[in-house]
Amino acid sequence: MAKKKTIYLDYAASVSPNPSSIHALGVEARKKLEGARKEVTDVLGARKDEIIFTSSGTESNNLAIQGIICAEEWQTFFRSSVPGVPIPARPFKKLAILPHIVTTNIEHPSVLQTYKLLKKRKLVEISIVPVEKNGIVDPKKIKKEIKNNTVLVSVMYANNEIGTIQPIKEIAREIRHWKKTRAVSFPFPLLHTDAVQAVNYLDLNVEKLGVDLLSLSGSKIEGAGRVGVLYKKKSVKLSPIFGGGDQEMGLRPGTENLSEIIKFSKALKLAQDTREKEAKRISLLRDYFLASLLSSFRVLDTRKLSGVQHPEINGDLQNRLPNNLNVTFPNIPSDLLVIELSERGIMASAKSACQSGESGGSYVIKAICKKPDGELGGLRFSLGRQTTKKDIDYTVKSLSEILQKLKKWYD
């Protein structure tokens, strides 16, 4: 037999080996892909055939929501189990009843806009439950909105702007209670959670959470590849968004982005392995930040700068991501503060960066603000693995200078 060497003549498949190829390098790539998938399943307490790799958190949220609606599995159940609703003929646009979704008013745009897209196409009916003034939704209010035709409840695990943590387990429990009023094994509503912001600090075990669908994104994990993940409980029927090959169990066509998937799985594992320790470190830092900020503001106040009002801390301080601080300064637009801070080398945010260029302030801050300050937005500081106490001191000092400077214009 000829001597063993490697000659790659499969450039048309992909310039680097592709998990779909049947040759040795393809098989090796497939093994690596499945190894990465295994690592993700271990972190989530899931099974291998429950993990779908996508390109991003946005795609994962879309696949969860569009996938449930377009799979049309709910039709079977609604026909036979909604009392008083006649069994209509296919296609589902002729159904007398539309699928219903329950969500909150502070979900990420990739959730809220997807509902709007589906609603515009007359494919769904939506109930949006407003969160309380602390930025947390009441599980009882979610349950109250569930109807016979509710296919999906979608509530984010932690909010991207104000960091509030939603009571997913309690919502899962309310759904289970509601289901008991239905026939045995009635599968709806399913529970989806967008866990993109939760990934570094919260427990992602899907069993404990009681979710059917969970979205993740590599862009929020230090060292992770730029891919997304959708966890989908085995029993859940999804329809793919894309037409194409049969990668990812036919649910996400397109050659898998192997190198990024491998980076993602390793970084996810590391983030989850160290999350408790890191959560402790970073919450101390964040609390120090908050205390410094408040005491520095009191100093400003004492100097009798006319009209100084106390800053508003947005969102609950207990049930909150340990790395998040979100503040509204009275009369001062938060994006102006971002620009001033940036000039001093400090990179903060005025609202979710996923709404590039969108004007009109933050709908999240509007949803929770007590005063009509919603249009000022919130100044968001989100700390990370590299953040130090020195950084915080410098930031508080800079912010104090900026506020003094801006007082002249915004009094």
Tokens matching residue 336: 């102006």
Q: Of 341, 368, 369, 396, which one interacts with a second copy (CB under 8 A)? A: 341
Q: Are 118 and 72 in contact (CB under 8 A)?
A: no
CB of 84 vs a second copy, minimal distance in Å:
25
Tokens matching residue 9: 């003549």
Size of the site for a second copy (CB under 8 A): 110
Q: Of 220, 232, 263, 275, which one interacts with a second copy (CB under 8 A)? A: 220
CB of 27 vs a second copy, minimal distance in Å:
8
Angle at 217 between CA 66 and CA 105, to 5 degrees: 55
Residues 6+ apart with CB under 8 A from 6: 25
Q: Which residues within the stretch 86-105 sit at the binding site for a second copy (CB under 8 A)?
A: 91, 93
**335 counts as binding a second copy under rule CB under 8 A:** yes
DSSP string for residues in 40-69? HHHHHT--GGGEEEES-HHHHHHHHHHHHH
Q: Of 155, 352, 363, 376, which one interacts with a second copy (CB under 8 A)? A: 352
Q: Which residues within the stretch 181-200 sit at the binding site for a second copy (CB under 8 A)?
A: 197
**Buried/exposed code over 228-256 (b: 16+ C-beta within 10 A; e: otherwise):** bbbbbbeebebebbeeeeebbeebbeebb
242 vs 410, which CB is nearer to a second copy?
242
Q: Of 273, 287, 358, 411, which one interacts with a second copy (CB under 8 A)? A: 358
CB of 207 vs a second copy, minimal distance in Å:
27
CB of 385 vs a second copy, minimal distance in Å:
8
CB of 372 vs a second copy, minimal distance in Å:
23
**134 counts as binding a second copy under rule CB under 8 A:** no
86 vs 243, which CB is nearer to a second copy?
243
Residues 6+ apart with CB under 8 A from 198: 157, 158, 165, 204, 321
221 vs 229, which CB is nearer to a second copy?
221
Burial of 67 (0-12, 13-18, 19+ CB in 10 A): buried
Q: Which residues within the stretch 261-320 sit at the binding site for a second copy (CB under 8 A)?
A: none
174 vs 194, which CB is nearer to a second copy?
194
Q: Which of 128, 346, 354, 406 is catalytic?
A: 354
Q: Where does this chain touch a second copy (CB under 8 A) — which range of 137-145, 206-214, 239-247, 370-378?
A: 239-247
Q: Which residues within the stretch 37-66 sit at the binding site for a second copy (CB under 8 A)?
A: 55-59, 61-62, 65
Q: Are 214 and 54 in contact (CB under 8 A)?
A: no
148 vs 400, which CB is nearer to a second copy?
400
46 vs 69, which CB is nearer to a second copy?
69
Q: Of 83, 84, 86, 243, which one interacts with a second copy (CB under 8 A)? A: 243
CA 295 remoteness from chain centre: 33
Is 369 among the catalytic positions?
no
Cα–Cα distance, 310 to 315 (Å, whole number): 16
Three-state SS for 181? coil
Place of tokens 């007590």: 370
Q: Which residues within the stretch 361-390 sit at the binding site for a second copy (CB under 8 A)?
A: 380-384, 386-387
Q: Which residues within the stretch 136-175 sit at the binding site for a second copy (CB under 8 A)?
A: 160-161, 163
Residue 155: name the closest of 186, 188, 130 by CA. 130
Place of tokens 């214009």: 409
State how beta strands 150-154 and 125-129 pair.
unpaired
**215 counts as binding a second copy under rule CB under 8 A:** no
Is residue 189 reached through a cis peptide bond, with omega within 30 degrees of 0 on the bond before it? yes
Q: Which residues within the stretch 1-20 sit at the binding site for a second copy (CB under 8 A)?
A: 1-2, 4-20
18 vs 149, which CB is nearer to a second copy?
18
Residues labelled as active-site residues = 354
